[in-house]
Amino acid sequence: MTSEPYQVGAQHEVSLAGTWFPIDVVGQPILLTFPGSDALYLPCFRSVPQLHEAMVGLAYAAMQEVVDEAHFFDSLRAYPSIRVVLDLRKTAENRFRYLLVQDPRTPTS
Q: Can you give the residue ranges of every domain in the chain?
A: 20-101
Of 12-16, 18-22, 66-70, 81-85, give the lowest mean pLDDT range.
Answer: 12-16
Of the candidates 55, 65, 82, the residue with the CA atom closest to the CA atom of residue 27: 65
Q: Which own/partner contact pairs does 51-56 have at CB distance under 8 Å and 24+ positions apart?
A: 51/20, 51/21, 51/22, 53/89, 54/88, 54/89, 54/90, 55/22, 55/30
Tens of pLDDT, residues 32-72: 998 888 899 999 999 999 999 999 989 999 999 999 999 99
Instruction: Provide the mean pLDDT of the chain.
Output: 87
| Cα distances (Å, whole numbers) of residue 97 to 14, 55, 94 | 16, 14, 10
Instruction: Give the pTM.
Output: 0.85
Looking at the predicted structure, is the pLDDT value of residue 7 above 90?
no
Dihedrals phi, psi of 100, to nearest 5 degrees: -80, 125
Are 53 and 64 spatial neighbours (Cβ–Cβ below 8 Å)? no
